[in-house]
Amino acid sequence: MAEEAGSLEERKVKTLSLVRGEEAKPPPGAPIQKFMVWPYLLAIEFLAAVICTIGLLIFSVLRNAPLKELANPDMTPNPSKAPWYLVGLQELLLHMDPFLAALLLPGLAFALLAIIPYIDFETKESGRWFASPNGVKITIFSAVYTTLILVAFILVDSQIGGVPGTAGGLRQLLKTWGVPDIVGSWILPVAIMLGLSALLILIVRLRWQANLREIVIALFTGFVVVYFLTALVGFLFRGPNQALFLPWDMPHGYDPLSEF
Amino acid sequence: MAFLPVPLRDLPREINRRIRNSRAWKSFFRSGYPDNRKDQAQIVIGNVFLHLHPVKVPTNAIRITYTYCLGGISFLLFLILTITGVLLMFYYVPSVERAYNDIQALSTTVAFGQLMRNLHRWAAHGMVLSVFLHMMRVFYTGAYKPPREFNWVIGVTLLFVTFGMSYTGYLLPWDQLGIWAITIGLGFAGYTPFFGEQAKQLIFGALEINQDSLLRFYVLHVIGLPLVAAVLMSVHFWRIRRDGGISTPL
């Protein structure tokens, strides 16, 4: 009798979850499949360590770490670049106020990264890649959206205004029109960044009815794409005077890869 | 042949048996090869290096496409960097007169010096990348959600410290690449409103990159930041266990 009631209760839970559109879950407390650390996990860890170490060793035999001439404080190389993981900041520096580009944005980026779990704390979707099928679509869309817009902006900014190829064309153009510099270096960049983020949120809300988690996915994807893309452009495509060139077609025999 | 305790063909097995039954061996290895569940659990609990792990883990922990081993790889690279870094320290003096020559000597006069330097350089780039990718993995799998919020914060801090360790190392060869890359950072610090000069002094030890900056970056690189990273990593690993192990679908 008691057993029957239990199964009835279970069926009720199952039916309810179906009605709510949720996946039927095993009842709480049900055993989940577990594996012994020795040997299953340790074998994987050991293999990963061996493969990485051998890969690193082979790479180190094939390619030497760069060493340029002795440091000379009186001779600035053109271009001189930050290490690849910070060169994106140098890219930002070309398009906006230096305080905004070099300190405010990276500081804000770290702060926003750190507080993600305090904004999105719904645990329902944890432990699963991209949370949902929508999450995958939103990630792909955000990556394509950010890539296209960023590349377009970098190209446009290098073509208009002063000398073609040099960055910050938009700022120079505004200056020649007599617009105060604060518009080109602060108001416009901030408006563009906020506006494009808001547009991204709007699109994923309307197209996929994105929930909070999926909106955070869209914004995080945008951040990651900006980080890697600006690093790539700055590292490979910026030549003397920070002008845009193809990596294999740099003037004065400058080879960006020799600095890696 | 009488002086042998066993026939010749049984000798290897006999030597093996005696070694394994010796006091020294038994003091070192508490049990034999763990081929049963009890011993396998015992060794994971009892071994200082393995006890980071629980005895059993859920499916996600052994699914390579869930973690891609990125956190572990970051830690492995940190260890490789520590070992190669210690070896490099034997041959390097952080002075503007000597630093560049010391680095050159690594490729000319020091045995395996170039290889050690290459390993250190490429592992450093690799660690920045793997830590960043690890952050992406944790984000996209939603592994930062409660109760793991604070461990995510520690992770973000570790990313920052990783940048710092790599960046301070960039100056040490004292070549044109390093000094001018660091000069760009000096410029960044100078954009601090009102306190530009103080920020430069604090981080770089000077208003332009010189001997003081080299010493400051050296000390941060070889002891200051690695110490911070080691403490944060201990907390990071400890909290994985305290927060219920690897994240799993609920």
**Tell me, what's the pLDDT at A127?**
87
Contact A60 B118 (CB under 8 A): yes
B61 touches chain A (CB under 8 A): yes
pLDDT score of A242: 84
Which residue is listed with tokens 């870094």? B85
Residue B194 Cα, gap to closest chain A Cα (Å): 11
| Over residues B111-131, mean pLDDT | 97
| CB contact B49 to A (< 8 Å) | no
Rounded to a whole number of angstroms, the distance from the CA of B24 to the nearest CA of chain A is 25
* Backbone angles phi and psi of A193, in degrees to 5: -65, -45
Give pLDDT, residue A3.
38
Domains of chain B as residue ranges with CATH: 68-242 (1.20.810.10)
Which pLDDT value is given to residue A243? Answer: 84
Tell me, what's the pLDDT at B152? 98
Among residues A98, A119, A245, A70, the alpha carbon closest in space to that of A171 is found at: A98
Q: What is the torsion angle, in degrees rounded to the nearest 10, for the CA atoms of residue B165, residue B168, residue B174 and residue B177?
A: 90
Question: Which of B114, B146, B179 is opposite residue A71, by nearest beta carbon?
Answer: B179
3-class SS at B58?
strand
Buried b (16+ CB within 10 A) or exposed e, A28-52: eeeeeeeebbbebbbebbeebbeeb
Residue A6 has pLDDT above 50, yes or no: no
Task: Say whether pLDDT at B189 is over 70.
Answer: yes
If pLDDT is split at 50, 70 and 90, which confidence band does B231 have? very high
**ipTM, 2 decimals?**
0.92
Q: Residue B214: pLDDT above 70? A: yes
Q: Which residues of A touch B208 (CB under 8 A)?
A: 73
Q: Measure in Å the smallest separation between the Cα of B225 and chain A Cα atoms.
A: 18
B115 contacts A126? CB cut-off 8 A: no
Tokens representing B136 are 């992406």
List pLDDT tens digits, range B69-116: 999 999 999 999 999 999 999 999 999 999 999 999 999 999 999 999
| Per-residue pLDDT tens digits for A59-91 | 999 999 999 999 999 999 989 999 999 999 999
A85 to chain B: which residues are within 8 Å by CB? 128, 132, 163, 166
Listed by number, the residues of chain B in 136-175 with a beta carbon closer than 8 Å to a beta carbon of chain A are 136, 139-146, 148-149, 152-153, 156-157, 159-160, 163, 166-167, 170, 173-175
Which residue of chain B has the CA closest to A40?
Answer: B62
At A141-185, the pLDDT tens digits run 999 999 999 999 998 888 876 566 666 777 878 888 888 888 988
Residues B102, B103, B108: CA angle, nearest 5 degrees: 90
pLDDT in tens, A88-126: 999 999 888 999 999 999 999 999 999 999 999 988 878
B175 SS3 class: strand
Residues of B in contact with A259 (CB under 8 A): 177
Shortest Cα–Cα distance, A1 to chain B (Å): 31
Whether B44 sits inside 8 A of A113 (CB atoms) is no
User: How many residues are there in chain B?
Assistant: 250
Region B204-230 average pLDDT: 97
What percentage of chain B has pLDDT greater than the value 70? 99
Q: What are the sequence ranges of the domains in chain A?
A: 35-65, 87-259
pLDDT at A27: 52
Given CB atoms, is B214 within the 8 Å cutoff of chain A? Answer: no
Q: What is the SS3 assignment for A70?
A: strand
Distance from CA of A242 to the nearest CA of B (A): 13
Instruction: Give the pLDDT of residue A245.
Output: 86
- Which amino acid appears at position B223 of this protein? I
Taking the C-alpha atoms of residue B179 and residue B61, their distance in angstroms, rounded to an integer, is 43
Q: Do A36 and B144 touch (CB under 8 A)?
A: no
| B68, pLDDT greater than 90 | yes
Confidence of residue B230 (pLDDT cuts 50, 70, 90): very high
Cβ atoms of B175 and A69 closer than 8 Å: yes
Q: Is B76 in contact with A42 (Cβ distance < 8 A)?
A: no
- Output the pLDDT for position A4: 40
Say what the pLDDT of residue A10 is. 54
Residue B36 sits at the vertex; the CA angle it makes with B32 and B40, to the nearest 5 degrees, is 75
**Of A65, A118, A129, which is closest to B149 when you measure between CB atoms?**
A118
Output the DSSP codes for A138-183. HHHHHHHHHHHHHHHHHHHHHHSSSSTT-S-HHHHHHHHTT--HHI
* Residue pLDDT, tens place only, A15-43: 555 455 444 455 555 567 899 999 999 99
- To the nearest whole Å, the CA of A3 is away from the closest chain B CA by 26
Chain B residue numbers with beta carbons less than 8 Å from the beta carbon of A66 are 177
**Structure confidence by residue, pLDDT tens digits, A191-201:** 999 999 999 99
CA distance A221 to A209: 17
